[in-house]
Amino acid sequence: MFSAIQPAPPDPILGLTDAFKADPNPKKVNLGVGVYKDENANTPILKSVKEAEKRILESLNTKAYLPISGSPDYGNRVLEMVFGLQPGSSGSERVRSLHCPGGTGALRVGAEFLKEFAPASKAWVSTPTWANHKGVLSAAGLEVGAYAYYNPSTYSLDYSELKDALAQIPRGDIVVLHVCCHNPTGVDPTPAQWDEIVGIAAQKGWVPYLDFAYQGFGGDVEGDRYPVSRFLESGIEFLVASSFSKNFGLYHDRTGALSLVAANQRDAEAAFSHLKKIVRVIYSNPPAHGGFIVEQILGDADLKAKWLEELSQMGDRIREMRQLLVKGLAAAGVERDFSFIEKQKGMFSFSGLSDAQVNYLRDNNGIYMVGGGRMNVAGISRKNVDYLCEAIAHALRKV
């Protein structure tokens, strides 16, 4: 059987990390996968997370299975964080959350659910979108279409095209929307535009499937959940796949959640029971460690304050690197106006570099970016920014 199999191509994002590790260039720079890095190119464990882990190790006395949906406390923390709701408060009865292995795991569980209960529905993703969206949705058997989102010539949201596209999506279809820090463009709708998008969803009857992987990196934790709160208030049904990978730095602990919002408590319970059935046949129940960390931190006022401070420091460093990059490119003699990079939100800059320029930078300078020109701004530091800007200036002249 195996002898007939041809190797699959490397993953367009995670495959870059392997290529970067194998590159002998001492000046190499990894701007590929979306993980936070500090000034020394390390992805640190947050101090609040270390403290939470210490407490967990001291108090843990079993490694028995978690429930299929994860620990109930974790579900309550997701409710608080993602929806801004307290357990038992009005509106919370419509929401049920499931601890999933990362945001990707959550997206897949939700996609399996949608395929089972809306088998004829098509899923729509933005142009462009996260390189893995199509794969995750189609692996569950959903047909995937694309809606207009970004205008590469203005480096900004093409709002009128987006609105027109969303207004034409048939009732019952599924629309994947990035809640904040759009991946890969870093370009988000304004709050007023979100209000209109929620109105279109309510009027047209499509099902929002919100991808919320970067909460806290756009502005702050509360501000970034604005679209979720508006969808909740509208009374329509929707799903949210969220992640604690980035904002808690829990990348390898695979700590995400799938939440469903139904019309009422009965419907929420019924749908939730089927989500559990789906989980049971894929991975049975979630890994515990990352969830325990989130519970410890969000359940302790001091630790939570410490974590929020660390989260805002990560965001500040990325914003500072955006400024240094724009300044550095001008200083390196680049005439093109790159000031749009400072307006983008989150970890990524959709740089406007072509695939040929991205390949040139990788082959000649050991600078790794995702195809389409997405760079992880968190991979930039005071130490590598000049090298990066000189290399980009050179690539812009040559390619």
Q: Hey, which residues are catalytic here?
A: 130, 211, 246
- Give dist(CA 296, CA 301) in Å, integer: 10
214 near ligand LMR (CB under 6 A)? no
344 near ligand LMR (CB under 6 A)? no
**C-beta of 79 vs 353, nearer to ligand LMR:** 353
Structure tokens at 314: 């990560």
Provide, rounded to whole angstroms, the least separation between the CB of residue 130 and ligand LMR: 5
Of 310, 333, 318, the residue nearest 380 (C-alpha): 318
130 near ligand LMR (CB under 6 A)? yes
Provide, rounded to whole angstroms, the least separation between the CB of residue 256 and ligand LMR: 11
What x-and-dash track marks residues 46-85 binding ligand LMR by CB under 6 A? Answer: ----------------------------------------
Provide, rounded to whole angstroms, the least separation between the CB of residue 346 and ligand LMR: 10
- Give dist(CA 51, CA 46) in Å, integer: 9
Question: What is the distance of C-alpha 272 from the center of its chain?
Answer: 23
Provide, rounded to whole angstroms, the least separation between the CB of residue 22 and ligand LMR: 19
Provide, rounded to whole angstroms, the least separation between the CB of residue 291 and ligand LMR: 19
33 near ligand LMR (CB under 6 A)? yes
- Give dist(CA 334, CA 341) in Å, integer: 14
Structure tokens at 260: 């469903």
179 near ligand LMR (CB under 6 A)? no
**C-beta of 132 vs 296, nearer to ligand LMR:** 132
**C-beta of 13 vs 279, nearer to ligand LMR:** 13
Of 286, 235, 251, the residue nearest 75 (C-alpha): 286
31 near ligand LMR (CB under 6 A)? no
DSSP letter assigned to residue 370: B
Provide, rounded to whole angstroms, the least separation between the CB of residue 32 and ligand LMR: 7
123 near ligand LMR (CB under 6 A)? no
244 near ligand LMR (CB under 6 A)? no
Enumerate residues 6+ apart whose C-beta is below 8 A from 205: 171, 172
16 near ligand LMR (CB under 6 A)? no
Residue from the set 28, 29, 31, 34 that interacts with ligand LMR by CB under 6 A:
34
**C-beta of 328 vs 379, nearer to ligand LMR:** 379
Residue carrying the six token digits 């420091």: 313
Structure tokens at 83: 């929806």
**C-beta of 96 vs 108, nearer to ligand LMR:** 108
Of 319, 355, 335, the residue nearest 128 (C-alpha): 355
Residue from the set 30, 132, 255, 365 that interacts with ligand LMR by CB under 6 A:
132
At 97, which amino acid appears? S
**C-beta of 121 vs 126, nearer to ligand LMR:** 126
How big is the site for ligand LMR, counted in residues (CB under 6 A)? 7
Provide, rounded to whole angstroms, the least separation between the CB of residue 35 and ligand LMR: 7
Q: Are 241 and 211 in contact (CB under 8 A)?
A: yes
Residue carrying the six token digits 């001291």: 58
What x-and-dash track marks residues 88-117 binding ligand LMR by CB under 6 A? Answer: ----------------x-------------
**C-beta of 256 vs 366, nearer to ligand LMR:** 256
Provide, rounded to whole angstroms, the least separation between the CB of residue 249 and ligand LMR: 13
- Give dist(CA 36, CA 315) in Å, integer: 9
Enumerate residues 6+ apart whose C-beta is below 8 A from 317: 38, 39, 378
217 near ligand LMR (CB under 6 A)? no
- Closest residue to ligand LMR using C-beta atoms: 34
- Give dist(CA 240, CA 231) in Å, integer: 11
Please report, to the nearest 10 degrees, the dihedral formed by the alpha carbons of residues 72, 76, 82, 83 taken in order.
130
Enumerate residues 6+ apart whose C-beta is below 8 A from 145: 122, 123, 124, 125
53, with CB counted inside 10 A (0-12, 13-18, 19+), is: middle
126 near ligand LMR (CB under 6 A)? no
* H-helix or E-strand spanning residue 208: strand 207-212
Q: Which residues bind ligand LMR (CB under 6 A)?
A: 13, 33-34, 104, 130, 132, 183
